[in-house]
Structure 1
Amino acid sequence: MLFSLGFLTFYFTLFLVLLGLWWFRKPRVAFPLTNYPRVSILIAARNEQHHILQCLEAIDLLHYPKDKLEVMVGDDRSSDKTRQLVEAYSQSHAYVRCLPITQDIPGTKGKANVLAQLAHQATSDFYFITDADIEVPTHWIETMLGHLTPTTGIVTGITTTNGTSLFDRLQTLDWLYNLGLMQVVADRGLPVSTMGNNMLITRQAYEAVGGFEGIPFSITEDVQLFRSVLEKGFKTANVYSKDVLAWSLPAPDLLTLFQQRRRWMRGSVHLPWYMLMLFVVHSSYYPVWFPLFMHTSWGIWLGIFVFKVFLQSLFVHASVKRVGLKTRWPDLFFLEIYLLVSFMILIVFFFLPFKVKWKGRYY
């Protein structure tokens, strides 16, 4: 009983501090570009015929000089029409190239292998990395570049999902909520993590760690690259802004969602200790709160639950508002159910003795 009350007091105090920092946040403004350096956009694609053209069309809408842009799509042995579609698209868009990836660089697999080979071919000093099912915003390049300093190695944008169903909308809120929590920490000048579908890494930082082939293989290759860049003494920056908000397709069903999150959980064990502590504390709420009903009245028990949902809803609302979206208030209640159920299933899912399936491969 005393432990539960002590934990809940700590939990709500921590959350109130995070909420206050987030609610009254003053984001750093990107430096305006005085010139437009040449940049490379690296995209690993495997069986993405249904998405790749939308990805390329979004890139074509970028407010960035096309003569300063090279887009390199690595076709990772696709069995569909991905390669044909990219090659056809490149005929009318000279800055786009399709590179067939038919072999693995020793020490790499999957996406890391593709990106490593694309980096070998890149001709700029700035590598923008996104996925074949992502649509980037029009001011993506200049905003990300505007957050570089001479000591910055990686700049990370934000990504969420689009879609109209309740399941799709809950995934959107889930992404923005977690990215908001990370941004509060990043705003304190602490490194948090990166996202492999929305990141900028300088050539200097990439070559300093030896590229993907020079770091230990991980199914979350972006997190491993982030750790390695930090170890070399580079700084990182996280940007929470609609100008860098990329859109991803939502997971179509629960099984796909859990496979995705299980892969992410593998990478989360490599987060900085303070981020691990934050997510452990956040995830421990229900294991502590639920048995409390045996030691207190139902009114107090439910009141603690309502207070938690209220604070969380305020945080999520602020996260949604900061990227110019509108909150559907009933969704915030369903988000609590979604987070609880997915957390319980993921805990079991994470420890099941089978490999992670990703893009048709097992790791």
Structure 2
Amino acid sequence: MLVATVFFSVFFGLYAVVLLLLLGPRPRLARHKATPRVSILIAARNEAATIERCLRALARLNYPREQLEILIGDDASTDDTREIVRRFIADKPWFRLLPIRHRLGTARGKSNVLAHLCRAATTEYFLITDADMALAPDWVHTMLAAAPHGVGVVTGITTAGGNLFGRLQGLDWLFGLNLIRLLTDLGLPVTAVGNNMLVTRAAYESIGGYETLAFSITEDLQLFGQIVAQGWGYRNIITPSALGVSVPQPTLRHLLHQRKRWMKGAVRLPWQLVVLFSSYGVFYTALGWPGLFPLGTAGMLYAGKVLFQTLFLAITLRQAGHRESLGVLLLYDGYLLLMSLAVLAYTAWPGGIWWKERRYRWAEV
């Protein structure tokens, strides 16, 4: 009982500290007045269902078109991705479609496409996103404002939309990314996220590019670690003008495939973040331990956790300029518990990792 009491005291104490940090002053990002040429890079494989949404959002960016270079790398798509892109960019010369058919160095899959795109890019700034993302109109200005001299990598904020299942996934994105942002603000390098990321050419070339890195299916985490190791600065930002809205995973099966890939990268995360995420598992283990707490006490502990979590999400939504109903916020805890158990079981189940309709062995990634 004493150990459990200490754990819950520390658990809620940490939550209180996190909320205080969330409510504390944040440095304001001044609008980037200069408009240097920038390259927006998109790796695409079988994205026929989503890529036009992404391209339309990029076509609406509040940035001079003559200063934009938008490169889409087609990774041997077997659907209509190429034709959809060709039709959309036919009258937009600042967009280019590049077929990717051979490997550069050690790169494979998405990292190989990005290696090709970085070689083809002609600017000093690489803004990287995914084909299922829609970015805010001021995305480029905001990401540039967060990358003064010495900063090599910047991560924006991401959520997801759609039906209830998709919006719960969106809360997952917001919860995890804002927690990472808080740790980053405390000087702890955690990770970058490759669907909403800026990398400077100087930082990218200082590590030799994707073609010199050991293959990884969490290429964004790998790139971030290598850039930070070279002494470059890093930032994670949350503001409405850096918000990207992803298309959610359509089914539980697709979501489990995605999360198993993420779990591979989780083993490389800093111990502080691993401890924070692991505390959730300990919380429910202790709460449900037979006879450890009276039912009323267990109910109060659970209600306290949901309250703190809902406050965290509500503040995060306000900072990101996004809206969600209270009912969905309250449903999030049940979703989080069920998904955590499902992901742990699916990850432990023997088998490979499916990513962009390719299968990879756990040991090779």
Q: What TM-score do you get using the length of structure 1 for normalisation?
A: 0.96
Aligned-pair CA distance for 1:270: 1.1
Cα distance in structure 2, aligned partners of 1:25 and 1:261 = 32
Aligned-pair CA distance for 1:156: 0.4
Q: State the partner residue of 2:266.
A: 268
Q: State the partner residue of 1:256.
A: 254
Q: State the partner residue of 2:303.
A: 306
Cα distance in structure 2, aligned partners of 1:341 and 1:228 = 34
Give the partner amino acid of 2:117.
L
Q: State the partner residue of 2:15.
A: 15
Q: State the partner residue of 2:242.
A: 244
Cα distance in structure 2, aligned partners of 1:244 and 1:283 = 31
Query: Quick one: which of 303, 327, 335 aligns to 2:332?
Result: 335
Does residue 350 of structure 1 match 2:352? no
Aligned-pair CA distance for 1:32: 3.3
Cα distance in structure 1, aligned partners of 2:39 and 2:57 = 15
Give the partner amino acid of 1:154.
V
Indicate conservation of the 8 Å contact 1:155/1:239, yes or no: yes
Indicate conservation of the 8 Å contact 2:72/2:96, yes or no: yes
SS of structure 2 residue aligned to 1:128: strand
Superposed CA deviations along residues 312-348 of structure 1, whole A, max 9, x for unmatched, are 1111111112222333112222111100001111111
Does residue 139 of structure 1 match 2:138? yes
Superposed CA deviations along residues 155-189 of structure 1, whole A, max 9, x for unmatched, are 000111011x2212211222111222112212223
Give the partner amino acid of 2:346.
F
Give the partner amino acid of 2:323.
K
Q: Tell me: CA distance 1:54–1:327, structure 2 relative to 1, closer, same or farther (3 Å).
A: closer
Cα distance in structure 1, aligned partners of 2:214 and 2:102 = 19
Q: State the partner residue of 1:84.
A: 83
Aligned-pair CA distance for 1:90: 2.4
Tell me which moved more, 180-189 or 259-268. 180-189
SS of structure 2 residue aligned to 1:322: helix
Indicate conservation of the 8 Å contact 1:177/1:319, yes or no: yes
Pairing of 1:224-239 with structure 2 (within 5 A): 224-239=222-237
Q: State the partner residue of 1:44.
A: 43
Give the partner amino acid of 2:52.
L
How large is the RMSD of aligned CA atoms in angstroms?
1.3
Cα distance in structure 2, aligned partners of 1:213 and 1:288 = 46
Q: State the partner residue of 2:279.
A: 281
Indicate conservation of the 8 Å contact 1:321/1:327, yes or no: no
Aligned-pair CA distance for 1:281: 2.2
Indicate conservation of the 8 Å contact 1:11/1:282, yes or no: no
Q: State the partner residue of 1:6.
A: 6
Pairing of 1:190-209 with structure 2 (within 5 A): 190-209=188-207
- Between the two proteins, the alignment pairs up a number of residues equal to 360
Query: Quick one: which of 174, 197, 208 aligns to 2:172?
Result: 174
Cα distance in structure 2, aligned partners of 1:274 and 1:237 = 18
Indicate conservation of the 8 Å contact 1:176/1:316, yes or no: yes
Tell me which moved more, 171-180 or 217-226. 171-180
Cα distance in structure 2, aligned partners of 1:74 and 1:217 = 18
Give the partner amino acid of 2:12.
F
Superposed CA deviations along residues 266-314 of structure 1, whole A, max 9, x for unmatched, are 11111122222222223421122210x5123111111111111111111
Aligned-pair CA distance for 1:51: 1.5
Q: Tell me: CA distance 1:156–1:19, structure 2 relative to 1, closer, same or farther (3 Å).
A: same
Cα distance in structure 2, aligned partners of 1:302 and 1:357 = 39
Q: Which structure 1 residue ranges, 4+ long, deviate > 6 Å from structure 2?
A: none
Cα distance in structure 2, aligned partners of 1:37 and 1:68 = 6
Structure 2: tracts of 5 or more residues without a match: 361-365
Does residue 115 of structure 1 match 2:114? yes
Tell me which moved more, 235-244 or 82-91. 82-91
Structure 1: tracts of 5 or more residues without a match: none
Cα distance in structure 2, aligned partners of 1:140 and 1:118 = 20
Tell me which moved more, 268-277 or 139-148. 268-277
Identity among equivalent positions (%) equals 39
